[in-house]
Amino acid sequence: MRRFFILTRALVLTTLREPAVLFWNLAFPVLLLVLYVLIFGEQARAGRAGFVQWIVPGVVTLNILSFGLIGSTSLTMQMREAGVLRRVRATPVSISTLFAVFVATNVLVCIAQTALVLAFAALAFGWRAELDRLVLSLPLMLLAITLSVALGQLVSSLSPRFALALAIAQVLFFLQLFTTGLVMPMDLLPAWLGEVGRWLPAYAIGDLVRWPLLEGSLGAEAARNLGLAFAYLLASGALAVRFFRWESRG
Amino acid sequence: MSEAPAAIVVRDLWASYNRGRIEALRGVSLTVAAGEIFGLLGPNGAGKTTLLSCVEGLHVPDRGEVSVLGVDVLRHPNAVKRKLGAQLQRTALISNLTALELLEAYAALYDCYPSRQTLMALLERFDLVALAHRRAGQLSGGQQQRLALALALVNDPQIVLLDEPTASLDPQARRAVWALIRQLRDEGRTVVIATHMLDEAEQLCQRVGVINKGRVVACGSPAALIAAAQLAAELRVAVDLPLALLRALPAVSSAEMRDGYALIRSTQPEQTLQALYTLARSHNASVRSIAVRHPTLEEAYLRLMSESAETSAKEA
Ligand SMILES: Nc1ncnc2c1ncn2[C@@H]1O[C@H](COP(=O)(O)OP(=O)(O)OP(=O)(O)O)[C@@H](O)[C@H]1O
Ligand SMILES: [Mg+2]
């Protein structure tokens, strides 16, 4: 455990000391929110206040998915391509410990992003933060973030190169974006595609994050989606560890 | 032979890259005795780094055996890694962590939690105390190299593997690192250094293994390698005697005049000198000055390399 904490602190420190990356990571979800509210807020039927309540959970979900899949790969990939991991390999640390450290670091970053978006939404757009909703959301968001980051780590493990990891992550991100009801209603999809979408991890993530924030209650499919999320988490963790790469060549 | 327990035993090791397309090691066998400084010598691409990687568990050989203090590397990689300290040829440090933070993190990788005092003492050994709070990316190349060496000791290893440890150091820092390497040996650790600097090997190592194209072409003490190469020493003598007489002295392979001195090449310099004094006395000539230059490991090494090039040309 002590090892885990020291290593996670080291990686969090490196992340905090990369101002450009940090700024972008934190600014991106806020920008997303601002754009949505400014562009669509005034025309919304429910009025701007209603629109804000509705869009904030969506922005949080999108960010969890895009940071986990795309953003969280970069720390691992950079350390691998720079040769840091090769040196680490000469030590007796286990891959599962390293995996846990990478996941924890990225989860912390994503929690910070989420907290910032929510705080910004409350202060700038009058988003109403209700305590019971937040309390209910917290463990589900944590699960969603961990799952999303674990998927990103799996992409890193499977990609020999940074560029490939980014490409794969983006494809997975956009495919899920349009097939799991995150940006367009699933009724618009062909039936078979909608059925596939319901089994993708982003579907579970969206459901688990949006309902509690939006309604203060679990969605009708919460149990199914919790199961799906845990299954994906275990599988992606196991595969990411199994196929972990220490070096980018050879 | 003394029966010191072996620190590292390598037996008939074959290793390759790109699924066997690049053969890096072709049947290497060597033994590193506990408590010695062993040098791995060889030209670029000889296979030194690959050999160290196989010992460190960073590269899986195609076949052969590697054991460290009696433990098989392939079967028990983590037990071996705990006993080893490694400085890699290309070390990438996390550039925005400070020297002290890196030491702490690397110690944690070994499940070691030294006190800050212990870590500062380690930095002190490498003259890095003033830079303890400087980020690794803001250190000069040589300072980074010294930090990499400090990192190799963070788990208090019994065996230290150093891949070109002085490659980017200034002459002073180089000598400081040499002193440190000797100190490591005096503390009872075994040190293996890969280098192509022959003065370094000659100064530091009890024994060296010369590798070329993935094979060990010679192994032994620097003195033994020099002796085995049968190179001539050079005697620079100021004496008024005809060259023909000098050439006739025992063990002399050639003699010529250069800058007013007689330059005599001899494979047995002591014997030649004795005979030279006797000769001078009998001719009433005085020997005004003598300088002897013994063959160096570098010359022996170059001879070995050209010989192994010849044999591989013959094989082809
Ligand atoms: N990662 C790699 N992928 C492919 N080939 C490699 C790799 N590393 C080394 N080689 C090849 O294996 C051979 C041995 O290389 P190695 O790095 O062990 O040599 P070396 O003796 O350490 O050389 P140097 O003095 O230049 O460090 C060389 O032919 C090299 O091109
Ligand atoms: Mg090398």
> Does the distance separating the beta carbons of B94 and A2 come in below 8 Å?
no
Is residue A219 one of the residues assigned to a domain?
Answer: yes
Quick check: A34 contacting B, CB < 8 Å? no
Is residue A249 one of the residues assigned to a domain?
Answer: no
Taking contacts as CB-CB distances below 8 angstroms, the residues of chain B near A86 are 58, 88, 92
Asked if residue B45 has its Cβ within 6 Å of ligand 1, the reply is: yes
Spatial contact of B153 and B85, defined as CB atoms under 8 Å apart: yes
Scanning chain B, the segments in alpha helix (DSSP H) are 48-56, 77-83, 99-109, 116-125, 141-152, 171-186, 198-204, 222-228, 243-247, 269-282, 297-315
Predicted TM-score (pTM) of this structure: 0.89
- The ipTM, to two decimals, is 0.89
pLDDT value of residue A54? 86
Quick check: B36 contacting A, CB < 8 Å? no
Burial of A16 (0-12, 13-18, 19+ CB in 10 A): middle
Is residue A185 one of the residues assigned to a domain?
Answer: yes
For residue A249, pLDDT over 70 is answered with no
Is residue A250 one of the residues assigned to a domain?
Answer: no
Taking the C-alpha atoms of residue A152 and residue A202, their distance in angstroms, rounded to an integer, is 12
Is residue A248 one of the residues assigned to a domain?
Answer: no
Protein residue closest via CA to atom 7 of ligand 1? B17
B219-251 tens-digit pLDDT? 999 988 888 888 889 999 999 899 999 999 999
Is residue A14 one of the residues assigned to a domain?
Answer: yes
For residue B255, pLDDT over 50 is answered with yes
Asked if residue B22 has its Cβ within 6 Å of ligand 1, the reply is: yes
pLDDT value of residue B153? 96
Quick check: B191 contacting A, CB < 8 Å? no
Is residue A83 one of the residues assigned to a domain?
Answer: yes
Smallest Cβ–Cβ distance between A91 and the set B18, B93, B109 belongs to B109
Mutation test of ligand 1: which of B26, B50, B208 has the most ligand atoms closer than 8 Å to its C-beta? B50
Of A25, A215, A179, nearest to A110 (Cα)? A25
For residue A118, pLDDT over 70 is answered with yes
Spatial contact of B85 and B38, defined as CB atoms under 8 Å apart: no
For residue B4, pLDDT over 80 is answered with no
A143-161 tens-digit pLDDT? 999 999 999 999 999 999 9
Chain B nearest-CA distance from A17, in A, is 7
Tell me the CA–centroid distance for residue A78 and ligand 1, in Å.
Answer: 23
Contacts of residue A92, Cβ cutoff 8 Å, sequence gap at least 6: B77, B78, B79, B81, B82, B109, B110, B111
Q: For chain A, what is the mean pLDDT?
A: 92
pLDDT value of residue B116? 95
Is residue A137 one of the residues assigned to a domain?
Answer: yes
Spatial contact of A102 and A205, defined as CB atoms under 8 Å apart: no
- In angstroms, the Cα distances linking B197 to A14, A248, B284 are 36, 30, 46
| Order of strands across the sheet that contains B215-220 | B84-87, B159-163, B190-195, B37-41, B207-212, B215-220
Protein residue closest via CA to atom 24 of ligand 1? B44
* Tally of domains within chain A: 1
For the segment A155-175, the average pLDDT, to the nearest whole number, is 94
Spatial contact of A60 and A29, defined as CB atoms under 8 Å apart: yes
Taking the C-alpha atoms of residue B105 and residue A7, their distance in angstroms, rounded to an integer, is 6
Q: Which domain holds residue A146?
A: 2-242
Lowest mean pLDDT among A83-92, B50-59, B65-74, B266-275: B266-275
> Does the distance separating the beta carbons of B109 and A14 come in below 8 Å?
no
pLDDT band at A250 (very low <50, low <70, confident <90, very high): very low
Smallest Cβ–Cβ distance between A84 and the set B56, B94, B108 belongs to B94
For the segment A177-202, the average pLDDT, to the nearest whole number, is 89
| Residue A118 backbone phi and psi in degrees, to 5 | -65, -45
Smallest Cβ–Cβ distance between A82 and the set B92, B105, B106 belongs to B92
pLDDT value of residue B83? 96
Give the nearest ligand 1 atom to B47 CA: 18
pLDDT value of residue A121? 94
Give the dihedral sign, CA A50/A52/A56/A58: positive
pLDDT value of residue B1? 47
Taking the C-alpha atoms of residue A26 and residue A34, their distance in angstroms, rounded to an integer, is 13
pLDDT band at B79 (very low <50, low <70, confident <90, very high): very high
